[in-house]
Amino acid sequence: MRTPFVAGNWKMHNDLAAGRELVAGLKAKVGKDCKIDVAVCTPFTLLYPLAAELKGSPIKLGAQNCYFEPKGAFTGEVSPQMLSAAGCTYVIIGHSERRHVFGETNDLLKKKVVAAQAAGLHVIYCIGELLAEREGGKTEQVVESQMAEVLSGDLKTDLLTIAYEPVWAIGTGKTATPDQAQAVHAFCRAKLGGIFGESTAQKLRIQYGGSVKPGNAAELFGCPDVDGGLVGGACLVAEDFAAIIAGGEASIG
């Protein structure tokens, strides 16, 4: 039985005052009795202060990116060790905006995944196809190579979550249907079985991301191979994110 995991990706939103307000709103709604795993992945500038706010809360902290070196002359970068020191449990790696806006390749992402786990961080590794790739019938080929070229059997699977995020569904209001999501998730789980072994693949969580909202979360998370979600826009409003978390709890009955 996999515990659903719902993570909010704040992207490049919120100053400290707004971040504190959002976290306070979430803390009021997500209590210690929460039945699923929950995280907020905030901009770097908010990590230290929000780690203090989240102390003792079931809501864990994450970052949205990191570099693969521990320290050095890498102007503008932040190391996994720095994220751990700031109080992060999680780091998102390979988000489609990193791949497609900033040109991050599978080669680079592999180094980041290994380095993040070496620093003790739990990696949320994102995969997903572009609209043209889906329309060209290439979805499985794309997600398979995003997994095969980055993930390997020597990774720490207890520090790994996969997030399937079809790029055409991110920030567009166009959500994958539960059937579309389930089909890709089942495909990914089968491929993960080839990398990590079948029993480990059964334990790995695969989040869905792309226009998850209060109105569609429970149905998506209810799919057998969908283990929660990675949420962008809707995680910026405490009531909406709390409703999505409730959808995750409902999916375990």
**Do residues 225 and 189 make contact, with C-beta atoms less than 8 angstroms apart?**
yes
How far apart CA 96 and CA 25 sit, in angstroms, is 28
How far apart CA 220 and CA 117 sit, in angstroms, is 28
Cβ closest to ligand PGA, residue 12 vs residue 73: 12
Binding site for ligand PGA (CB under 6 A): 9, 165, 170-171, 209-212, 230-234
With DSSP H G I counted as helix, E B as strand and the rest as coil, what are the percentages for the chain, rounded to 5?
50, 15, 35
Measured at CB, which residue is nearest to ligand PGA?
232
Question: What is the smallest separation between the CB atom of 32 and ligand PGA, expressed in angstroms?
Answer: 26
Cβ closest to ligand PGA, residue 76 vs residue 173: 173
- Write b or e for each residue in 110-132: b if 16 or more Cβ atoms lie within 10 A of its Cβ, otherwise e: bebbbbbbebebbbbbbbbbbee
Cβ closest to ligand PGA, residue 87 vs residue 233: 233
Which residues are the active-site residues? Answer: 95, 165
How far apart CA 129 and CA 238 sit, in angstroms, is 29
Q: Name the token pair of 23.
A: 């976290």
How far apart CA 26 and CA 235 sit, in angstroms, is 10
Question: What is the smallest separation between the CB atom of 172 and ligand PGA, expressed in angstroms?
Answer: 7
How far apart CA 251 and CA 245 sit, in angstroms, is 10
Question: What is the smallest separation between the CB atom of 173 and ligand PGA, expressed in angstroms?
Answer: 8
Residue 34's CB: how many other CB atoms inside 10 A? Answer: 18
Burial of 73 (0-12, 13-18, 19+ CB in 10 A): exposed
Question: What is the smallest separation between the CB atom of 194 and ligand PGA, expressed in angstroms?
Answer: 26
Cβ closest to ligand PGA, residue 81 vs residue 96: 96
Cβ closest to ligand PGA, residue 165 vs residue 249: 165
Question: What is the smallest separation between the CB atom of 36 and ligand PGA, expressed in angstroms?
Answer: 17
